[in-house]
Structure 1
Amino acid sequence: MAVIRKTDITTGMQAFDDWCAAARALEGTAPRTDIAPRLPRPTMALAVRYSLHMLELKAPGPGVEVRVAPWGAIKILDGPASDPHNLTPPDVIELDPDVWLRVAGGITTWAEEREVGHISAVGERDDLSALLPLG
């Protein structure tokens, strides 16, 4: 199942741009790893879904699952896929929506978020820094 409907791509792009603009407006008011603009829930959901869709286009494959609960999960990068008894691939990365949007939008880096403990990752391919930011 797609993480975003085709009819929501344009709205999702705008939501992602709005989140990034709001985050940049907050730079200097808090540590970068704490920046978390409060936008309406539907805007946040579309921003996450659109950015996950962009990552999926950039690095397709079945090997790593990226989860941004509660709004989406995708599989990316080549590598071993899920086995038939366990639908989870061997590499799983979980992020909160604000953490995901910060790294996807270039507000923070993967290393910064990892250092403060905001990224949960299991497996050999647990570093997406070569794919981010998406811009």
Structure 2
Amino acid sequence: MSKTVSLRKTIRKNDGPQSTATTEKTSPSASPAPSPTPSYDELVRKEARLRSEQIDEIARLRRRLNSARNAAEKPLPAEQRSPSLQDHVITRAAITYLLENADAIDGWTEEGILESLRRLKG
């Protein structure tokens, strides 16, 4: 068992801390503010299988968001700029949206769940 713990510590150490700090603008009528973004060490590793086109689209979205962030923060000193967005941050945001709307979701398949999410969009 000590090998497993040691391996986990090694994996975490090699992965390094990754900041996921984001800034959000909320209106007074918006849902309550989410809890602060947990630190890297507070996150639990969970593997997911994605389709290749999903991976490609998430990467495109990440590049677009990072490009917009870079343009907006260009006049700021380096120490005030936010860290680069990473794919896993986008994935966690999507999961949070899914869970925030859990009461409106139905369906027993990926397609059924997706259709109920699309109905939310309007």
TM-score, normalised by the number of residues in structure 2: 0.27
TM-score, normalised by the number of residues in structure 1: 0.26
Q: Which has the higher helix share?
A: 2
Q: Which has the higher strand share?
A: 1
Larger CA Rg, structure 1 vs 2:
2
Q: Which structure is richer in relative contact order (CA contacts within 8 A, separation 6 or more)? A: 1
